[in-house]
Structure 1
Amino acid sequence: MATALQSPPPSHPVLRLRLASGSGMPRPIDGAWWPRSYDLLAELPQLLAGLPRAWRHITSVTVNGATWSAVPGRIFVLNQVVRLHRTVAASAPHTIVLLAPGWGRWDLLVLPPDTTEDAAEPLMAAAASGHD
């Protein structure tokens, strides 16, 4: 009797992130992130680990306080302390702001975790292309 070999499931789920190309032009959104939950402590380490090296070390992250579960003032990610800030700004309820002092600021559209794949794909493509 032959048995089929199955590859083991990935130890970490694939990061659902789409970034705009580095055109050097300022843009309101630098890409889109589609987390699997609203647990920032579980989701943020994978996001930061998947960012381009050119973004350097992110030291500060700002999220919408009404969207994400409670977060502490800081978290240890990739051997460094990352400060977490919560805002209730109505102007950006579905974004996350990543800061690397002296290197840049990046704003990502955050798709709700329960977004279907059919709905997520065009939103992520539009955010990465710089279109509204």
Structure 2
Amino acid sequence: MPPTRADYAVLDGGWWPRCWDPVAEVPGLVLALAARYGPIRSVMLNDASWDSRFRKLAVGTAVIRIGWFSSLDPTLFIATTHRGDQLDLLVVPPQTAAPAAERAMTMAADPTNFMRAPDILTATPPRQSR
């Protein structure tokens, strides 16, 4: 059984992609999540944040379904495992300065954290180019 977040935690962790290209960024994250939580069935992303949109993506030997939603907060990445577990991750924008990104991801991974993703990003210093 994978580790679980505290009853009041909002997020399971954070992710700091290097760019907004989902083909370049999503496979590595999906593989890392699968290694910890088991096979990933699908992911959900905000449709306005990313450079391209498609319905399926080959990741290793699996094909992952991708859902694009305008209603999904751009600061969230949601993955669903084959068992039906949902993993909610903070998405730190690629242009965020390293110290701010690290603080945001640490906050998102804290099992006692109850802040929502946009609030975490607001609580960190302004974004700067990497």
TM-score by length of 2: 0.77
Structure 1 equivalent of residue 41 of structure 2? 59
TM-score by length of 1: 0.76
Question: Distance in 2 between the 1:31 and 1:24 partners?
Answer: 9
Cα contact 1:56–1:103 (8 A) shared by 2 = no
Structure 1 equivalent of residue 80 of structure 2? 99
What secondary structure is seen at the aligned counterpart in 2 of 1:75? Answer: strand
Alignment of 1:18-33 (within 5 A): 22-23=3-4, 25-26=6-7, 27-33=9-15
Cα contact 2:44–2:79 (8 A) shared by 1 = yes
Q: 2:67 aligns with which of 68, 85, 89?
A: 85
The alpha carbon displacement at 1:55 in A equals 1.2
Question: Distance in 2 between the 1:29 and 1:128 partners?
Answer: 7
Residue 38 in 1 paired to residue 20 in 2? yes
Structure 2 equivalent of residue 123 of structure 1? 104
Q: Higher helix fraction: Structure 1 or Structure 2?
A: 2
The alpha carbon displacement at 1:128 in A equals 0.6
Of structures 1 and 2, the larger Rg is shown by 1
Name segments (4+ residues, structure 1) moved above 4 Å. none
Cα contact 2:16–2:91 (8 A) shared by 1 = yes
Instruction: Say if 1:52 and 1:70 are closer, same or farther in 2 by CA, change over 3 A.
Output: closer
1:76-128, CA deviations, whole angstroms, 9 ceiling, x for partnerless residues? 111011001101115x2210100113241101000000000111111111101
Q: Which runs of 5+ in 1 are unaligned?
A: 1-20
Instruction: Say if 1:52 and 1:59 are closer, same or farther in 2 by CA, change over 3 A.
Output: closer
Question: Distance in 1 between the 2:109 and 2:76 partners?
Answer: 14
Percent identical across equivalent pairs? 32
Q: Which runs of 5+ in 2 are unaligned?
A: 116-130
Please give the root-mean-square deviation of Cα atoms over the aligned residues, in Å: 1.8
